[in-house]
Amino acid sequence: MTDKEVSLERLRLATLQEIEAVKQRLARYEALTDKIIKYQAGEGPSPSVEEFLMWREDVELALAIKKLKIAPPTP
């Protein structure tokens, strides 16, 4: 493999990893909002502190990416 091919392969791998990370962040957000809705309706337990902290970290990461003006890959 040439240096260019190696670089392209690394870029592809990094892009796939970021797409998976975006999917995971979206799934965590959807699970948290679902849990909040159920809790407010009296149908389930309240979200944990850990769930809110994870969501906060996800939001902070998204804001940092936005500040860099880097568009995250779409899942």
How far apart (Å, rounded) are the C-alpha atoms in residues 5 and 41?
A: 54
Q: Binning pLDDT at 50, 70 and 90, where does residue 72 land?
A: low
CA angle in degrees (0–180, nearest 5) for 33-39-45: 105
Whether 71 shows a pLDDT value over 70: the answer reads no
pLDDT score recorded for residue 41: 97
Whether 50 shows a pLDDT value over 80: the answer reads yes
How far apart (Å, rounded) are the C-alpha atoms in residues 6 and 33?
A: 41
How far apart (Å, rounded) are the C-alpha atoms in residues 63 and 15?
A: 18
Whether 40 shows a pLDDT value over 90: the answer reads yes
